[in-house]
Amino acid sequence: MAFPITRLRRLRQTEALRSIVRETRLTPESLVYPLFVCPGEGVRKAIGSMPGVFNLSVDQAVKEARETHSLGIPAVILFGLPEKKDEQASGAWAEDGIVQRATRAIKRDIPQLLVVGDVCLCEYTSHGHCGIVKKGTAGVAQPDHTGAAAAPSRATEQYEIENDPTLEILARTAVSQARAGSDIIAPSDMMDGRVAAIRTALDEAGFQNTPLLSYAAKFASGFYGPFREAADSTPQFGDRRSYQMDGANLREALREIQADLDEGADMIMVKPALPYLDVIAAARERFDVPVAAYQVSGEYAMIQAAAQNGWLDRERVMMESLLSIRRAGAGIILTYFAKEAAKLLS
Ligand SMILES: [Zn+2]
């Protein structure tokens, strides 16, 4: 059938018609709200590049979690700003670590709200990398392709993010978060083998029923910029391209997801969301597990900045971006817009 028998505009004439044929719907139940927890009391410190997002002391995080729950959002994910950082990321797995304390406080106050524990080391290491750093001789000249020695510089410093020694620390972090009451453990470091290491450690510690949501396809992205201000986790040297994924690779993303599922992940995540909608769609198509996507700080900041300048309709673009992530196939969306979106949806 073609025009004039077929007229696709027939079903777009009124909101009631548009609504009854709508294919994708957003609900507050699919959202997860990220919280940045810091030391102190009564602290509510604005993050410049993320208007509307704050560093919160534990008491304030509890208040925020209470509001999140009242809006019908089922989960928060916690990131920590420790009092001190060191090379071994000891703040990540300390029993009285900032995330562990916040988890206990939130679970005590609002037991029905799911607490997701982000497992990574970059917020807790003095160098800001997601793993243990093995440094070579700093400043040693590296031979270039002609065999001649290049001048020593920061750019030629040798360092390596050590994969296997990092796994043990990640596993210890995951167990300490589970002990504090985390409902879901979410490793975001991108080391090889971390899901298996964490699953084994959780099982040995008696947490066989704690599910894993792995940041399976996490791309090295410029869109993380504002988060690094929020979590104070900018690498002090180098970048994260030796462990986070190359933005050019879709097939490799599917291998990463397969590997994490083979190692015991219960749910997988694609991060960032908007620049990687094709990866979300391919993951949804290929794997029969819950797919999450993280609308990251830069995606949030872009919309906020444009709206502040009067260049975009904030609410409309916010909902459209979330809808696109949902339509691509993400059943779970981590977003700094969670509270506002939930208010508009109710
Ligand atoms: Zn990290």
pLDDT of 232: 86
Q: 204 with 212: CB under 8 angstroms?
A: no
Beta strands 44-46 and 54-57, pairing class = antiparallel
Q: How confident is the model at residue 229 (pLDDT cuts 50, 70, 90)?
A: confident
Asked if the model's pLDDT at residue 42 lies above 80, the reply is yes
Alpha carbons 335 and 320: distance in angstroms, whole number = 13
CB 219 within 8 A of CB 243: no
Separation of CA 264 and ligand 1 centre (Å): 21
Report percent pLDDT > 90 for the chain: 89
Query: Rg (Cα) of the chain, in Å, rounded?
Result: 22
Mean pLDDT over residues 107-116, rounded?
Answer: 98
Q: What is the reported pLDDT for 149?
A: 46
The rounded Å distance from CA 188 to ligand 1 centre is 6
Are 234 and 127 spatial neighbours (Cβ–Cβ below 8 Å)?
no
Mean per-residue pLDDT of the chain: 93
- pLDDT of 141 reads 40
130: tokens are 């997601």
Mean pLDDT of the 93-112 span: 97
Measured in angstroms, how far is the CA atom of residue 275 from the centroid of ligand 1?
20
186 C-alpha to ligand 1 centroid (Å): 11
For residue 208, what are the CA distances in angstroms to 120, 174, 178, 184?
21, 12, 10, 12
Residue 328 — very low, low, confident or very high, per pLDDT cuts 50/70/90? very high
What is d(CA 14, CA 73) in angstroms, rounded to the nearest whole number?
30
Choose the catalytic residue: 63, 271, 339, 343. Answer: 271
CA of 240 to the centre of ligand 1 (A): 9
| Residue 161 backbone dihedrals phi, psi, to 5 degrees | -85, 115
Residue 271 among the catalytic residues: yes
Res. 134: pLDDT tops 80: yes
Structure confidence at residue 40 (pLDDT): 97
- Cα gap 284→270, rounded to integer Å: 11
Give the three-state DSSP class for 215.
strand
Catalytic residue among 63, 218, 339, 343: 218
Q: Is residue 84 among the annotated active site residues? A: no
Cα 68 to Cα 76: distance, rounded to the nearest angstrom = 8
Predicted local distance difference test score (pLDDT) of residue 157? 61
Q: What is the pLDDT of residues 119-132, one digit of tens each?
A: 999 999 999 999 99
User: What is the 282 CA–ligand 1 centroid distance (Å)?
Assistant: 25
Alpha-carbon span 289 to 293, nearest angstrom = 13
